[in-house]
Structures are given as C-alpha cells and as structure tokens.
Amino acid sequence: MPVTEWFIIKSLTIPSSWLAVLLAILITGIIVWRKFGKETEDWFSDAAILFLLVWKFSVVLTDFKLIIDSPLSILYFNGGRLGLFLGLSAALLKLLWRFRQKNWPVSELVALLFSMVMLQSVYQIIMVLVNEALLWQKIITVVLFVALVTLTWLKISISSTWQFQLTFLFLFTHIFVALIQPQGMLQSPLFVTGIFVICGSLAYVLTNKQLEFTEEKL
C-alpha cells in the first residue's frame, strides 16, 4: 500500500509507514506476551529493537556523505529499503542463532511463525486504514489478513503440518493482496514476507530434524 499520509511531530515529518511499523511491533509484542508468555516476548522485543536500530543507523552506510556533512541528519533519516532489509536480516539471524542454542524447540517455532504472521498482518491493516486507496482494496486486504491471523491463532499449535501449511498460506495471501494493491508485486512488504517465509521454513526444517533426532535417541 503506497504512503499517502504523513504525520508531523514537532520538527519531524513521519510517513505513515513508520507509524505502521512501530504500532505493528508494539501490538504484536503485546499479543505474543499474552499468548506465549514473558520469555517469548523478551526475544521478540530484543529482535525488534535490533531491527529498529540497524534500520535507523544504516543511513551511515547508505548516505555516508550526508551524515558527514550534517551529523544531526542521522536523527531524521534511516537506511531506506536497504536499511530495512539489513535490519530485518540482523533480527532474524539473531533469532535463528538463539533457537539453535536452545536446540530448536517446537514452542519457539510456533511463536516465531505466529509473530511473523501477526507483525505483517497488523502492518498491512494499519497501512490500509491510514492511507488512501479504493474501498474494495481496503476491504479485501483487511478481511484476508484478519482471516489469516484468526486461522493462525487457532491452528498454529496443533501440528507441524499446520505450521507448514500456514507458513505458505501467509505467502500466498500476501501475494494475492499485493496484486490488488497499487504498487503490485514490487513492494517492500511483500519481500519482507518472502524473507519471513524463508526464515520460518528454515526454522521449521531444523526444528523437525531436531525432533526426529531426539525421538531416535529415545
């Protein structure tokens, strides 16, 4: 969904996408805490903070000359699309490393997949609510992502089969939504979902391998 709304906070002009990201992280963190407990919310918060820091300060890499000429500009800019993917990669790699240290527990896989779906869904819903688009585009986007969140909430903990199916349903849902939105398939949020699905699939495979190994030892 393209950014059509901007918010002025004192001397800062903030695009609606920034607001949507921050609210999506906050809302997802609260829901993860209520559903999975404080320990799970802790690793979600750590990953979210790392993402925000890398995204924000990656402007040093993407526009080094600007920072040299005007150091205070680091407060007003971020690393853009490249910074977004750098921050996301850093956060997800940290999570995968943490899960590896804990031998890929199924409970953490469930929480990871759930938080990815929730984070992107809340972001999409906020974006269509605060930005301009055709009414039918807004309705379809909200209905599909609400349905995805509801199904994930109900089924994600049932079995590994559901975890696998929901991961790819997440991707296909976003692809369909992207096709009806003004920016089409070439939008950053869809690439984010693709990265989420790759990370989730890797965690799924490694978790199930660890589970099979444990069962063989028994």
Give per-residue pLDDT as tens, 82-137. Answer: 888 999 999 999 999 999 888 888 889 999 999 999 999 999 999 999 888 889 99
Strand blocks (E) in 57-171: none
> Would you state the pLDDT for residue 215?
62
Task: Give the number of domains in the chain.
Answer: 1
How would residue 184 be classed by pLDDT, with cut points 50, 70 and 90?
Answer: confident
64, part of any domain: yes
CB contact set of 79 (below 8 Å; sequence gap of 6+): 54, 55, 56, 57, 58, 59, 61, 62, 86, 87
How would residue 5 be classed by pLDDT, with cut points 50, 70 and 90?
Answer: confident
Give per-residue pLDDT as tens, 42-92. Answer: 999 999 999 999 998 887 777 767 667 766 666 666 778 888 899 999 999
CA angle 26/183/82 to nearest 5° reads 60
Predicted structure pTM score: 0.90
Mean pLDDT is lowest, of 11-25, 113-127, 136-150, for 11-25
1, part of any domain: no
Residue 14 belongs to what domain range? Answer: 6-217
54, part of any domain: yes
Mean pLDDT is lowest, of 3-17, 75-89, 147-161, 163-177, for 3-17
Mean pLDDT is lowest, of 26-30, 47-51, 174-178, 208-212, for 208-212
How would residue 167 be classed by pLDDT, with cut points 50, 70 and 90?
Answer: very high
10, part of any domain: yes
75, part of any domain: yes
- From the number of C-beta atoms within 10 Å of its C-beta (0-12, 13-18, 19+), residue 18 rates as middle
108, part of any domain: yes
CA distance 212 to 144: 35
pLDDT at 165 over 80: yes
Q: Contact, 112 vs 94, CB < 8 A?
A: no
Q: Contact, 16 vs 102, CB < 8 A?
A: no
Q: Contact, 26 vs 74, CB < 8 A?
A: no
Give per-residue pLDDT as tens, 196-218. Answer: 999 999 999 988 887 776 666 65
CB neighbourhood size of 119 (10 A): 23
Q: Contact, 148 vs 121, CB < 8 A?
A: yes
181, part of any domain: yes
